[in-house]
Amino acid sequence: MAPSAPRTRATAALRMKQIALDNQDRTIRRLRAQLATERRGLVATKKELEETQVALEASHKVIARLIEIGLSMSKKIEKMKVKKHQVRANHVECHQKFQARIHEAKDSMQAQHLLIEALVYEKDSLLQTIHGLQEANNAPAPFDGDWEEEPEEEPEEEEIEDIPLGEGEIDDE
């Protein structure tokens, strides 16, 4: 049995080496499969990251545009506030001027009324003087003594009311 022992040992050693090579081959195939799976995962992750990057850049563009629109709107709102303030100031100024004209008209009407009263009083005084002079000169009375003084009609003053600010509704009746 001597000749078969070294052969058996060599065969066993070869068989052991073959098994080790087969195991290494399986390990390499398994590691290659894992590597391929990892690569596919990395490619998918890279694709997701690229899509996320594109979406993020689009979002940044949208946000930048919205900020630009917001700033533009803010400027417009500020301009509108300034214009509103100017319109309000102009309205107040016009209102004050209108009220001043109303008061001037009232004062003028009162002055005219006082002037008319003074003229009526002076007319009565002159008529009495003329009548007295005619009686003193024994002249015939031009007025027959049936002189009726016209009743004084006080002009109906239209009440012009102060128009409060902010009001001015037109009532179409």
**Which of the two residues, 39 and 155, has the higher pLDDT score?**
39
pLDDT value, residue 128? 92
Q: How confident is the model at residue 137 (pLDDT cuts 50, 70, 90)?
A: confident
pLDDT value, residue 138? 80
pLDDT in tens, 85-111: 999 999 999 999 999 999 999 999 999
Residue 160 pLDDT greater than 90, yes or no = no
* Ramachandran quadrant class, 128 (left: phi over 0; alpha: psi -120 to 50; beta: rest): alpha
**Which of the two residues, 50 and 135, has the higher pLDDT score?**
50
Q: How confident is the model at residue 147 (pLDDT cuts 50, 70, 90)?
A: low
pLDDT value, residue 158? 59
Length of the chain: 173
| Eight-class DSSP state of 155 | P
Residue 5 pLDDT greater than 80, yes or no = no
Angstrom CA distances, 12 to 5, 22, 26, 78, stand at: 10, 15, 21, 96
**Which of the two residues, 94 and 7, has the higher pLDDT score?**
94
Average pLDDT on 70-93 reads 95
pLDDT value, residue 19? 96
CB within 8 A of 113, min separation 6: which ones? 154, 155
CB 95 within 8 A of CB 165: yes
**Which of the two residues, 26 and 7, has the higher pLDDT score?**
26
Distance separating alpha carbons of residues 37 and 30, to the nearest angstrom: 10
Distance separating alpha carbons of residues 115 and 135, to the nearest angstrom: 30
pLDDT value, residue 134? 87
Share above pLDDT 70 across residues of the chain, in percent, rounded to a whole number:
77
pLDDT value, residue 173? 45
For the chain, the DSSP string reads: -TTHHHHHHHHHHHHHHHHHHHHHHHHHHHHHHHHHHHHHHHHHHHHHHHHHHHHHHHHHHHHHHHHHHHHHHHHHHHHHHHHHHHHHHHHHHHHHHHHHHHHHHHHHHHHHHHHHHHHHHHHHHHHHHHHHHHHHTTPPPTTTT---PPPPPPP-PPP-PPPPTT-------
Token reading at 67: 């900020």
pLDDT value, residue 56? 95
